[in-house]
Amino acid sequence: MSDDEPLDENPTTFADLGLSGTVLKALSAVGYERPSAIQEATIPTLLGGRDVVGLAQTGTGKTAAFALPILERLDKGQKQPQALVLAPTRELALQVCEAFEQYAGHSKSVHILPVYGGQGYGVQLSALRRGVHVVVGTPGRIMDHLDRGTLDLSELKYLVLDEADEMLKMGFAEDVETILAATPEDKQVAMFSATMPAQIRRLSAKYLRDPQEIAVRKTTTTASNVTQRYLIASYPQKVDALTRILEVENFDAMIVFTRTKNETETLAERLRARGYAAAAINGDVQQAQRERTVKQLKDGKLDILVATDVAARGLDVERITHVVNYDLPIDTESYVHRIGRTGRAGRSGDAISFVTPRERRTLSSIERATKQSLTQMHLPSVDEVNATRLSRFDDAITAALGNTARIDRFRDIIAHYVTHHDVPEADVAAALAVVAQGETPLLLDPADEPVREEFRGPKAQSRDRDSRDRRGSSGPLRTYRIAVGKRHKVEPRQIVGAIANEGGLSRGDFGQIKILPGFSLVDLPAEIPADALKRLERTRISGILIELQPDEGRAPRSGGPRSSGSRYGGGGRDGGRSERGGRGRNDSAGYDRGPRKPRKPRTPRD
């Protein structure tokens, strides 16, 4: 272990911050290991009863920073709402509700109610009548309830303004002020904002009492001998992305960081199941066991360590050529610490961060804080993976040929077979390869290519323009409209990424995409399940709600101007295959095996 680490040897625990009982239990079930910087500063202050102004963005753990102190002090016996969280959008309101539910351990006796426009009043009214502890809503709808007299805030103890700058930007200033003024004098107020414009300062001065100002942004520097890349991947795509990276990257040892303790175990298990020598370390693993694991990594008995920030503190193993941030860290200090686990002893290193479409802003804040930009990389394609596999296969043959003593023993047996069966030697070699390979296909099937957030080439596009039937892989398509367009600088890959992730769609489900100045038109399956449609209404691209809905025809439907749109999917799996010349599984013809990189034959081990 080295001593150049920015993280504390004895990190603060959630219990140190004054949290207790069921809240700690819930946190342990969620698997958070230690408080983030904003949590460490905010939780004790709020528990102490003081107002807070927090300068913090999404991705810093700010939701838990205000939710945990509220839950800690919750009076379950009080029927009137005791906490109100104002959020700029219904999407954020729902996220905050989910977080509250999670931090309350999904307890049936804690009642959290989302209140936003667009949802019927009925559900909200009956829940309010039954009694609600925490209300999370958009200012407009909260005002509606106050005007109708259906929301009683007379007993309110805690008021949170989440993403306050966004709320003001969206024109909620007046509503927010009215709500602040209409609630009890002695309530505690916590205001979170990514920026601190004059309007926010004014609001704070007028409605908060001697607030503690908390800022978590820090500038830190990262070593220049580490190449930093990022890959956009939704949560469900991460395992596949990691396995492909493991196949194509020329790594020696790797450390993969996850956000929670539970995830380290699950992921290590999944990697082992895929044949990799992987182990998990986290704060719950005993010191002795941890040291044994680190030694195995040093000795080359392990190649992949899946770790949390706490567990990897001070880890100094020269063999680590790669760091993968499977989950982005919750603060930039952790980012710097993580990537410092590679490039040890003056060597070069590689850091790859998985960024979910929603975390693009977190990525920008890491780039700002470290004053370095990360290069985008794409998911290694099936062809790239297969080229690497073939190259390793060749290497394995070369290595075996080097073992002359064993080769000599088998040569006679094979010669005997060739003479007695009148079969060419190449066929016998191929048959032996089949035996060696077992049931696992040597190569990936090109049809397994998942959605790639990229433009397809002009050739494919022009062929697709001729799509008379407008069908996707799962049936007929129809045109949908989304509320982001050229004006919002949206790109087709963002549209595909966001809609595919949130709607559970695959590449073959996409037809044409046309980006117009104020909105875009996207061809998607005519029948999208109701729950997916609901999620898609709430989806955001670059922070803007896309409000996906069927297009009612203002735009041309076929030919004409639409033909300038791009098309994804090539009409489903068959389309994808024929584009590749109909190559089937295990057919290596056409793979560019490229210049041979020397690499050691390596995992997956069988």
Binding site for ligand AMP (CB under 6 A): 32, 35-36, 39, 58-64, 259, 330
* Four-residue CA torsion sign, 20, 25, 28, 32: negative
Q: Please report how close the Cβ of residue 54 comes to ligand AMP at its closest, in angstroms.
A: 11
In a 3-state reduction of DSSP, which class is residue 92? Answer: helix
Q: Which residues of 388-402 are buried (b: 16+ CB within 10 A; e: fewer)?
A: bbbbbbebeeeeeee
Name the DSSP class of 15. G
Q: Please report how close the Cβ of residue 161 comes to ligand AMP at its closest, in angstroms.
A: 15
Are 68 and 32 a contacting pair, CB within 8 Å? no
Q: 195 or 398, CB closer to ligand AMP? A: 195
Q: What is the largest CA-CA distance in the chain?
A: 98
Instruction: Give the end-to-end CA distance of the chain in Å, rounded to a whole number.
Output: 32
Q: 59 or 357, CB closer to ligand AMP? A: 59
Q: Please report how close the Cβ of residue 396 comes to ligand AMP at its closest, in angstroms.
A: 41
Phi, psi values for residue 36, rounded to 5°: -80, 170
Instruction: Give the full edge-to-edge strand order of the sheet including 278-281.
Output: 278-281, 304-307, 253-257, 320-325, 349-355, 226-232, 375-376
Q: What does each C-alpha distance from 486 to 166, 480, 522 come to in angstroms?
A: 21, 16, 14
Cis peptide before 81 (omega within 30 of 0): no
Which amino acid is residue 588, in one-letter code? S
Q: Please report how close the Cβ of residue 535 comes to ligand AMP at its closest, in angstroms.
A: 17
Q: Which segments of 211-346 are extended strands (E)?
A: 212-215, 226-232, 253-257, 278-281, 304-307, 320-325
Q: 303 or 331, CB closer to ligand AMP? A: 331
Q: Please report how close the Cβ of residue 355 comes to ligand AMP at its closest, in angstroms.
A: 13
Are 388 and 247 a contacting pair, CB within 8 Å? yes
Q: 35 or 485, CB closer to ligand AMP? A: 35
Q: Please report how close the Cβ of residue 11 comes to ligand AMP at its closest, in angstroms.
A: 11
Q: 247 or 502, CB closer to ligand AMP? A: 502
Q: Please report how close the Cβ of residue 309 comes to ligand AMP at its closest, in angstroms.
A: 8
Q: 39 or 391, CB closer to ligand AMP? A: 39
Q: Please report how close the Cβ of residue 101 comes to ligand AMP at its closest, in angstroms.
A: 12
Q: 32 or 354, CB closer to ligand AMP? A: 32
Which amino acid is residue 218, in one-letter code? K
Please list the residues that pair with 363 across neighbouring strands: none
Q: Please report how close the Cβ of residue 64 comes to ligand AMP at its closest, in angstroms.
A: 5
Q: 96 or 317, CB closer to ligand AMP? A: 96
Inter-residue long-range contacts of 541-545, CB under 8 Å, 24+ positions, other chains counted: 541/357, 541/482, 541/484, 541/488, 541/490, 541/494, 541/495, 541/498, 542/360, 542/484, 542/488, 542/489, 542/490, 542/494, 543/361, 544/483, 544/484, 544/488, 545/89, 545/91, 545/483
Q: Please report how close the Cβ of residue 330 comes to ligand AMP at its closest, in angstroms.
A: 5
Q: Please report how close the Cβ of residue 94 comes to ligand AMP at its closest, in angstroms.
A: 12
Q: 12 or 150, CB closer to ligand AMP? A: 12
Q: What does each C-alpha distance from 46 to 64, 81, 194, 200, 484 come to in angstroms?
A: 12, 18, 19, 19, 38
Cβ neighbours for 568, distance < 8 A, ≥ 6 positions apart: 451, 456, 492, 496, 507, 510, 511, 513
Q: 59 or 572, CB closer to ligand AMP? A: 59
Q: 64 or 505, CB closer to ligand AMP? A: 64
Q: 98 or 454, CB closer to ligand AMP? A: 98
**Residue 274, CA atoms < 13 Å, CB-side half-sphere:** 17
Q: 64 or 294, CB closer to ligand AMP? A: 64
Are 567 and 524 a contacting pair, CB within 8 Å? no
Q: Provide Rg for the chain, Cα atoms.
A: 28
Q: 64 or 524, CB closer to ligand AMP? A: 64
**Residue 413, CA atoms < 13 Å, CB-side half-sphere:** 8
Q: Please report how close the Cβ of residue 308 comes to ligand AMP at its closest, in angstroms.
A: 8
CB atoms within 10 A of CB 75: 10
Residue with tokens 């300038």: 564
Q: Please report how close the Cβ of residue 96 comes to ligand AMP at its closest, in angstroms.
A: 8
Q: Please report how close the Cβ of residue 378 comes to ligand AMP at its closest, in angstroms.
A: 24
Cα separation, 606 vs 599, whole angstroms: 18
